[in-house]
Amino acid sequence: MSPSSAEGTTVPVLSFRVKKEFQNFSLECEATVEDGVTALFGPSGSGKTTLLNCIAGTVSPEEGRIEAMGKVLFSSSVGTRVPPERRRFGYVSQDAALFPHMDVWGNITYGYNLTPKKDRQLDPGQLIELFQLGPLSTRNVTTLSGGERQRVGLARALATSPKLLLLDEPIAALDWVLRGVILRYLKRIRSELGTPMLYVSHSISEVMALADSTIVLSEGKRLAHGPTSRVLVDPTLSRVAELATLENLFDAEVSSVQVDDGLAELRVGDATLLASDVFAEPGDKVMISIRAGDVILSLDISSRTSARNAIKTVIEEIHPLGQRVLVYTDIGERLAVEITPGSLRELGLHVGQQVYAIIKTNSIMIMEPTQPRPGPGL
């Protein structure tokens, strides 16, 4: 959480103004980051990782100032440069960069043992439990799967009780199913540990699912910064994001499994959804994906339809974006729906209106293993 100053005002988690020059690229960006998860979003080559490394201290800007929790880490004007190991940040990259000569427990406790006792807030055992690493604790990390390595990498970074967790596209190298698994753990970090995160991603769906606020970068410049739901409908975003790929990524709890027709009841927010291919037990949590373009909005429910999910919901926001319209509805979670301008006119949709969100069972994709895996788990 953000500390308070002597006057009682909240000190930002992070504030920065950096300028970094390369031969064919220039990064120039400034922003203030508060508690929660802040995404650095943009296409490849936009400067996201360079900015993250400037904040981490592994890259030095030519000009600027970086301040975390009220402490100056870098200032070109007075010559301050706090080395990376003294910035109290955790860092997780795409490949996790684990110590190959150590087992899982050794990797997690390495940074913990180097952390002064007065700064230790998270116990390695607590992290082993959070990331479900108990059965893997004595395994050499070279034998782990990609998803297991990222879980260990997250636990190792958090074991130092960092003031800020820096994440450089931590799930970009994973397959679609493992993305869902790791994203669920990231959401647990946010809800259970409250560790502030700066999350680099080029996936608009991941950003919408995880980030409280978003900084949009393009060609080394900041295009937008603000609450994620607002930034995602900023007209400038169409320059750097493909909104047609937008997915709703939700944590869902399995309520029951109907063996006869192979369907399962999932609880998402205030809604109950029927989905197929759910290899889980009642009480289990799974990550699900629903494409915004696969949801149909209706003013009423037809009794003659093959769709098994018709959820009563209320329209919160409507945003025309060229040839598509993004509608946010409330199902206890924010559900994004993509419709056409013609549908908006014909249905006469407006904010505050009650409608039904209709979703086919096969439009709910389960981002978890589709069947029990032999050998080690995720």
For residues 221 and 291, state if they share a domain: no
203: left (phi over 0), alpha (psi -120 to 50) or beta: beta
Kindly state whether residue 376 falls inside one of the protein's structural domains.
no
Instruction: Let me know if residue 374 belongs to a domain.
Output: no
In a domain, 3, yes or no: no
- Same domain assignment for residues 255 and 127: no
One pLDDT digit (tens) per residue for the chain, 378 residues: 555 544 545 788 999 999 999 988 999 999 999 999 999 998 888 999 999 999 999 999 999 999 999 999 999 999 999 999 899 999 998 887 889 999 999 999 998 998 889 989 889 999 999 898 999 999 999 999 888 999 999 999 999 999 999 999 998 888 877 888 888 889 989 888 889 999 999 888 899 899 999 999 999 999 999 998 888 777 667 666 666 678 899 989 999 887 666 788 999 999 999 998 888 888 988 889 999 999 999 998 876 667 789 999 999 999 888 788 989 999 999 999 999 999 999 999 999 999 999 999 999 998 876 554 444 444
Rounded-to-10 torsion of CA 233, 37, 173, 97: 160
| Residues constituting the chain | 378
**Segment holding 128, helix H or strand E:** helix 124-130
Domain boundary among 193, 214, 242: 242
φ and ψ of 149, to 5 deg: -60, -40
70 and 200 belong to one structural domain: yes
Number of structural domains found in the chain: 2
In this structure, the answer to whether residues 21 and 92 fall within a common structural domain is: yes
pLDDT digits (tens, 9 = 90+) for 270-290: 999 999 888 888 898 888 999
Contact 124, 159 (CB under 8 A): yes
Mean of all residue pLDDT scores within the chain: 88
Residue 328 in any domain: the answer is: yes
pLDDT of residue 377: 43
pLDDT digits (tens, 9 = 90+) for 63-117: 999 999 999 999 999 999 999 989 999 999 888 788 999 999 999 999 899 888 9
Residue 7 lies in a domain: no
Answer whether residue 359 is part of any domain. yes
What CATH number does the domain containing 301 carry?
2.40.50.100
Is residue 98 domain-resident?
yes
Q: Classify the phi-psi angles of 53: left when phi > 0, otherwise alpha if psi is within -120 to 50, otherwise beta.
A: alpha
Cα 221 to Cα 46, 55, 161: the distances in Å are 8, 16, 31
For residues 291 and 212, membership in a common domain is answered with no
CA distance 300 to 310: 9
> In this structure, are 176 and 271 located in the same domain?
no
The answer to whether residues 100 and 194 belong to one domain is yes
Final residue of a domain: which of 242, 259, 274?
Answer: 242
Same domain, 255 and 237: no
Quick one: 144 and 264 in the same domain? no
Cα–Cα nearest to 184, from 229, 132, 230:
132
| Whether residues 255 and 328 fall in one domain | yes
Distance, in Å, from the CA atom of 250 to the CA atom of 340, rounded to the nearest integer, reads 24
Task: Please tell me the distance from the alpha carbon of residue 296 to that of residue 155, in angstroms, as a whole number.
Answer: 40
- pTM here is 0.84
Residue type, 146: G
Percent of the chain with pLDDT over 90: 58
Q: Which of 242, 267, 302 lies at the terminal end of a domain, its last residue?
A: 242
Is 147 inside any structural domain? yes
Range(s) of the domain holding residue 274: 248-366
